[in-house]
Structure 1
Amino acid sequence: MLMGINTILAYVFGLFLLYIIGMILVIPIKVIMKLVINGIIGGVLLFIFNLVGGLFGLGIALNPLNAIIVGFLGIPGVILLLVLQIVL
């Protein structure tokens, strides 16, 4: 039994929709995973900064928001948090 052109087009359209839905679901998961990984890296960087900065009387609170800021911005994030702590 041969499939008709309508059946083949329906399968192709269904696979295309499945692909689109999959991409819609995967992109936010990638963003969330990147945010979590950067937050962990930021937390480690803040911890190291607090160890070294403790010798000079400098320190930044280690909390999730600061970890995410440092995770996104890296070293400029540490500088930003340090400046904000001194100014405020």
Structure 2
Amino acid sequence: MNIWVIAGLLILIVLLLTKGIPLKFSRVLGQGVVKVTIGVLFLFFFNLFGASLGLHIPINIFTAVVAGLLGVPGIASLTAIHIFILP
């Protein structure tokens, strides 16, 4: 099983070295990484200031994507879920 994973990765590396990475794919991937990073920062500052009110939203990939894609309304929706749905 491990040999197939290594072989697949080597084939992928060789293909990327010969064909190159498509520009649109790398642009979309880069924008996604930036948005998720901004989401993590939003959640960090929310947890920092929300601690005095007893609010805490865990930082994981789902919450980071929601906060990164939706921004402040995403933080508000995660807070509402935390307050009203999760005990």
TM-score using structure 1 length: 0.68
Structure 2 equivalent of residue 71 of structure 1? 68
Distance in 1 between residues matched to 2:78 and 2:25, nearest whole Å: 27
Distance in 2 between residues matched to 1:65 and 1:58, nearest whole Å: 18
Structure number with bigger Rg: 1
Count matched residues.
67
Residue segments in structure 1 that go unaligned for 5+ positions in a row: 1-20
Residue 85 (structure 1) aligned with residue 87 (structure 2): no
Structure 2 equivalent of residue 26 of structure 1? 23
Distance in 2 between residues matched to 1:30 and 1:66, nearest whole Å: 23
SS of corresponding position for 2:22: helix
Distance in 2 between residues matched to 1:31 and 1:84, nearest whole Å: 29
Residue segments in structure 2 that go unaligned for 5+ positions in a row: 1-18
Structure 2 equivalent of residue 45 of structure 1? 42
SS of corresponding position for 1:59: coil
Distance in 1 between residues matched to 2:78 and 2:27, nearest whole Å: 26
What's the % identity of the aligned pairs?
A: 36
Distance in 2 between residues matched to 1:63 and 1:57, nearest whole Å: 19
Measured on the aligned residues, the alpha-carbon RMSD in Å equals: 1.9
Can you list the C-alpha shifts for 1:27-82, whole angstroms capped at 9, x where unaligned? 12111111111111110110000010000011111111111111111101100111
Distance in 1 between residues matched to 2:27 and 2:84, nearest whole Å: 35
Structure 1 equivalent of residue 13 of structure 2? none
